Structure formats: structure tokens, C-alpha cells
Amino acid sequence: MTTSSTSGLPKLTYHVWTVWRRNFDVFMKTWHVNFLPSLIEPILYLLAFGFGLGTFVTEIEGISYIQWIAPGLVAITVMYGSFFECTYGSFVRMYYQRTFDAIIATPINVEEVIAGELLWGATRATFNSAIVLAVVAAFGLISSPLFLVMLPVAFFGGLLFAALGMCFTALAPNIDFFNYPTFLLITPMFLISNTFIPLATFPSQLQTIALAVLPLTHVADLSRILVVGKVETLGGLSPEWVLILAVFWIAIVTTVLFILAIYLMKRKLIK
Amino acid sequence: MQIAGATASVNTMASQVLIKARNLTKRYNHFTAVDHINFEVYKGECVGFLGPNGAGKTTTVRMIYCFSPVTEGELTVAGMNVSTNSREIKRMVGVAPQEDNLDPDFTVLKNLQVYARYFDIPKAEATKRAITLLEFFQLEEKQASAINELSTGMKRRLILARALINQPQILIVDEPTTGLDPQGRHIVWDEIRSLLKQGVTVILTTHYMDEAAALCDRVLIIDNGKIIETGVPQELVKKHVGEDVLEVSYDEDVLKTLKEELPEAHIEIFGDQIRVFMSQPHGVFEHIITKFSGVNMSIRNANLEDVFLKLTGRKLRE
């Protein structure tokens, strides 16, 4: 707690970065282990799906299958890095390690603790996607000069998934609860949000749903234009409108979830 | 060794009251954990909040260090309202919570350095303070150890060290020796005494009456969210129990005779033991012992635990 209000916009100061820094220090202690999944996973996916499945699926929208899924892998990394950091990771720090309680007894308030966690989740997403981008580049699959713009997109997309995860952390009665959002939300997105399978091949109603409610669709669309310079007509929208929708959708939903996550966590932590 | 920043304090000119509560109340939905309590804590004293489990002592101290919002009433620390000045208050308070919330992701030394960062203490200064504190708490050899390599007693001492990293004027220790062996308890007590000598104001919650008697200048006995008694430990013992207690092995006939012989005495049954409390026991207890030779009886000094049990009753809480 800090002040008595439990509503309104969160009160944040530079202390947010002190919380971020705590997580960064822990991460750097074992950085080589933390970078490993982001390095190995995309290589395996590119080998299995790109070369393996790619021998059957030869071409999508004028590019090879392996090149089509590469931006999808970057987007998936953004989602996994931040969502799991702010569900399992934050839950362990909150519930098992009581780290949040310890920090709240210092001049840092609870909103700043949560904001620091969310920014950290976004940072992890950015680190991880940078590695995946490097792998994708090593495979020679980058064909847009704008690919570095994917890093800020990864940060904001990461902030979205971090905030989404944190909302579940605020509602989770125990750590096993995360199986629900993981298998009902994250895994479906992993498969259908224009990542491994072109969304344009699905029925138009499903395309509309994916554009309306699945955040990964928008991150994947932005990733595909920035990494390989391609985007398709989806849900009846022209490629330009798909991109405009993606930018605004991410901006608005990230803001809403950021405030909601802090509100829900405050309600949970302040007793 | 100077650990805390209390002696060079800001408010020596002003009133000696450091913490003041008026009708302080904390409600959770329909449960009232703290119920319109009033108290003061004076600068430099050690105040003990005593009470059975769930009495409201931890809730009260959590309001003091701005962790729990106040539902009703007023609570000020160094003249500042906890509802509006939490950041300033938290800067001058050190908190050693009841549960272990040390950061298991860092070593002993790094725990203190990271905690110092939360108070904006520059790194060089933080390291200097951390080393001094580790020496004071006899943990200097453990500075590179992981938290899970420490014994319970070492963890308690590290939590105390961490609470002092900001050189607080007020130190809040919530059940500092729960789960410690006798050696560990005495080390913690000595360290708290040493901090008191340096002028730190200490607020202690405990349900160990020997601990309260050993450390506290004043105790507040809390039960069901209300302060039911307050005073200096020895005076409370005298007031409520007297100087001595007669303990007798339980026997129905003996109990009956005792009640007849000592009509003004307060007699309680504690398990298989009869305890007799009297305001003027001199000579009387000795007389009883001679009279009942053969029955297992003994006289001992009354203590704070007798007061506590008399005031809060024997019903098991929780």
C-alpha cells in the first residue's frame, strides 16, 4: 500500500526501475541459461517445420514456408517471454519468495512494484526476440531493412502479454491455475494467430475473431511486415488496414491491461 | 559500533511522542481486527505488543509501517499521517517481518545491497553499511552464501540487518525469535538491546512473555483487537498477580482445602496443576506448604506470562 486510494491511475516514479533492476540482476546472474531456450527453440522449429514440413508446403504468398514462419517464431517468443515471466515468475516472487512484501516495506509502493515487473516482462520479451531475430538472420531469412523495428514492437507486445499474465497472477488462487490461461489462451494463439498456418486460410469468421481478440495475431502481422516485408488481406481488411489495426489494437489493449493489472494486483496485495 | 541513524535524529526538540494512534481501527469486510485503539510510542523506548495469535498485533504494526491502510481513526509517525506520507515514513522505519522474505535469488551481501537500492542508497555507501551490519550480526563469514544455506537463526539476524540498512529511527520487529533455539534467541535479544542503547525506538510484537520482559520498557497487551492493559512489565506483574505464585499438583481434595483456607486467593487450574495467586502471599504460602507436607508444592516468582494468561484467558486461539 501507499496512499489510501485504490482507484485512479497508478502513481509511478523512478522507483519502477529499481524493481526492474532487481529482476535484471537475477537474470544476469544466470544469463547463459536464460538465453538458451530462445537460441535453441527457433533453430528446432526452423529445422522441423521449415525444412521438414517445408518440403510439402513449398510456397506461401510468394515466399518459402520457412521464411513465412520465421516472423511467427519471433512473435511467439514475444508472447512466451513476457507471459510466463509475469505469471509463473511473478507468482513465485509474490507468493513463495514474498519479494513483493519485502519491497513494499521500503519507500517503493505496490503500483511501482507491479509496473517494474511488467516492464521487466517486456524487457525479457525484447531480449528473447533479439536472439530469435539473430537466429532467423543466421538462416538468411530476413528480407526487410526494417527488421530492427521489431525490437520496440517486441517491447510493447511484450508489455501487453506481461500485463495479461499479471491479471491472471492477480486472480490465481495457486500456481496450477496458470494451466487454464496457458492451454485455453496461449496455446491456441500459438497455433492459429497467423504464426505457423496462414490465418487467411481459415474461415472468415475465425479470421475476424483472431483479429478482434487474439493479441498474438497483431504481433505476428507486424513481425511479418518488419522481418520479411509481407502482410496479407485478413478478415476482409486490406494489408494496410491490417497493420494500422495491429498498431492501434496493441497500443490500446496494452494501456488498458497495464492499468487493470496494477489495479488487480493492488487489490490482491494490499490487506 | 554505530548501526542506526537514530541518535542524530531530527526531532529531539519536538515532542517525544514518535507514534500516536487515536481510535485506530482496521476492518476486513465484517471482521474487526483492530478496534478503536489508542496508544503512543515514545522516542527511544522499546514497546512490546503482546497478544495471542490473531489478537491484532501484526495488523497494528503493519499499519505503522504503511503496509496496511487504516480503516478508521488516526495514526501518525513522527507527526506524519500514514495515509498520506507513506513514502517519508517508510524511509525512517526499518521492518523485520515475521516471515522469511529474504531474496533467495541473491547472496547474503547482495540481499543487503539490493535492499539498500530500494532506499536510493548509493552503491558504495550501501556496501559499507552492509559489511558493518554483517559484522554486527556475526554474519560476515556468510556474505557470499546463498540464503538457503543459512540456519533459521542466521536468517533472522540477516532480516534484522536488512531492516537497519536505511539507518532507521524506528525498528519494527514482528516476532523476532519465533522458531529459534535458546542460543539464537539470546543473540537476537543482545543485538536488540544494543540497538536500544544507540537510541533506536523499537516496536516488538511477540507472544513470548519472557522476551517481552527481557526487552520491553513498556508492553501493550492486545486481545480481540483491543488494548486490554498497558504498563511496565514488572509493575503489571505486581498489579495483576502479585510477587509469588504457589504451584500445586492437581488433587481435588487439596483444591477444596485451598479454597477454604485462602478465600481471597485467585486459584486457577492449568492442566494437571493448581496455581494460587495472592496479592499478599508473604508467609501464607509457606504456611500452606508446611500444612500440606507430602503434597507436591512449590513457590515461584510471578511473571508476565501469569499476567498474560490471567488477562487473556486460557482458551486456545486460532
Q: What pLDDT, on the 0 to 100 scale, is given for residue B10? A: 44
Determine contact, residues A1/B86, Cβ cutoff 8 Å: yes
Q: Which residues of B touch A22 (CB under 8 A)?
A: 103, 114, 117
pLDDT digits (tens, 9 = 90+) for B139-178: 999 999 999 999 999 999 999 999 999 999 999 999 999 8
Number of domains in chain A: 1
What DSSP string runs through chain B? ----S-TT-S-SSS-SEEEEEEEEEEEETTEEEEEEEEEEEETT-EEEEE-STTSSHHHHHHHHTTSS--SEEEEEETTEETTT-HHHHHHTEEEE-SS----TTSBHHHHHHHHHHHTT--HHHHHHHHHHHHHHTT-GGGTTSBGGGS-HHHHHHHHHHHHTTT--SEEEEESTTTT--HHHHHHHHHHHHHHHHTT-EEEEEES-HHHHHHH-SEEEEEETTEEEEEE-HHHHHHHHT-SEEEEEE--HHHHHHHHHH-TTSEEEEETTEEEEE-SS-TTHHHHHHHHTTTS-EEEEE--HHHHHHHHH-S----
Q: What pLDDT, on the 0 to 100 scale, is given for residue B13? A: 41
Mean pLDDT of B7-20: 62
- What's the Rg (C-alpha) of chain A? 19
Pair B57, B199 in one domain: yes
Whether B316 is in a domain gets the answer: no
Q: Among residues B209, B237, B265, which one ends one of the domains?
A: B237
More confident residue, A78 or A59: A78
pLDDT digits (tens, 9 = 90+) for A194-215: 999 999 999 999 999 999 999 9
Of the ranges A196-205, B46-55, B106-115, B271-280, which one carries the lowest mean pLDDT score?
B271-280
Pair B60, B116 in one domain: yes
B11 pLDDT band, cuts 50/70/90, is: very low
Determine contact, residues A97/B104, Cβ cutoff 8 Å: yes
Q: What pLDDT, on the 0 to 100 scale, is given for residue B3? A: 62
Whether A6 is in a domain gets the answer: no
Q: Could you tell me the three cell numbers for B192?
A: 536488540
Q: What pLDDT, on the 0 to 100 scale, is given for residue B4? A: 57
Mean pLDDT of A146-173: 98
Domain that holds residue A222: 15-269
Q: Which residues of A touch B84 (CB under 8 A)?
A: 3-4
Dihedral angle computed from the Cα positions of residues A239, A242, A247 and A252, in that order, rounded to the nearest 10 degrees: 170
Q: What pLDDT, on the 0 to 100 scale, is given for residue B36? A: 96
A108 pLDDT above the threshold of 70: yes
Whether A1 is in a domain gets the answer: no
Whether A62 is in a domain gets the answer: yes
Whether B1 is in a domain gets the answer: no
Pair B90, B31 in one domain: yes
CB-nearest to A107 from B84, B106, B119 is B119
B52 touches chain A (CB under 8 A): no
B314 pLDDT band, cuts 50/70/90, is: low
pLDDT digits (tens, 9 = 90+) for B246-266: 999 988 888 888 888 888 888
Whether B176 is in a domain gets the answer: yes
Pair B266, B232 in one domain: no
> For residue B252, what is the domain's CATH number?
3.30.70.260
Spatial CA neighbour of A217 closest among A238, A236, A234: A234
Q: Which residues of B touch A14 (CB under 8 A)?
A: none
Number of domains in chain B: 2
Pair B36, B105 in one domain: yes
Does the beta-carbon distance from B28 to A270 stay under 8 Å? no
Average pLDDT, chain B: 90
Whether A193 is in a domain gets the answer: yes
Answer positive or negative: Cα dihedral of B284, B286, B287, B291.
Answer: positive
Whether A121 is in a domain gets the answer: yes
ipTM of the complex: 0.91
Pair B170, B285 in one domain: no
A8 pLDDT band, cuts 50/70/90, is: low
A87 pLDDT above the threshold of 50: yes
Q: What pLDDT, on the 0 to 100 scale, is given for residue B316? A: 60
Pair B57, B162 in one domain: yes
Does the beta-carbon distance from B90 to A98 stay under 8 Å? no
The proportion of chain A whose per-residue pLDDT surpasses 70, expressed as a percent, equals 97
B137 pLDDT above the threshold of 60: yes
Does the beta-carbon distance from A2 to B66 stay under 8 Å? yes
| A97 CB-near residues (< 8 Å, 6+ apart) | B101, B103, B104, B105
Whether A4 is in a domain gets the answer: no
pLDDT digits (tens, 9 = 90+) for A120-145: 999 999 999 999 999 999 999 999 99
A4 pLDDT band, cuts 50/70/90, is: very low
pLDDT digits (tens, 9 = 90+) for B265-308: 888 888 888 888 887 777 888 888 888 877 888 898 889 988 88
Whether A75 is in a domain gets the answer: yes
Q: How far apart are the CA of A16 and the nearest CA of chain B, in angstroms?
A: 10
Pair B225, B269 in one domain: no
Q: What pLDDT, on the 0 to 100 scale, is given for residue B12? A: 44
B250 touches chain A (CB under 8 A): no
Pair B109, B222 in one domain: yes
pLDDT digits (tens, 9 = 90+) for B216-233: 999 999 999 999 999 999
Whether A81 is in a domain gets the answer: yes
CB-nearest to B101 from A2, A98, A109 is A98
Does the beta-carbon distance from B118 to A103 stay under 8 Å? yes
pLDDT digits (tens, 9 = 90+) for A227-267: 999 888 888 899 999 999 999 999 999 999 999 999 999 99
> For residue B94, what is the domain's CATH number?
3.40.50.300
B107 pLDDT above the threshold of 70: yes
SS3 A60: strand
Pair B131, B201 in one domain: yes
Pair B41, B81 in one domain: yes
Q: Which of residues 20-49 of B touch A (CB under 8 A)?
A: 28
Domain that holds residue B221: 17-237
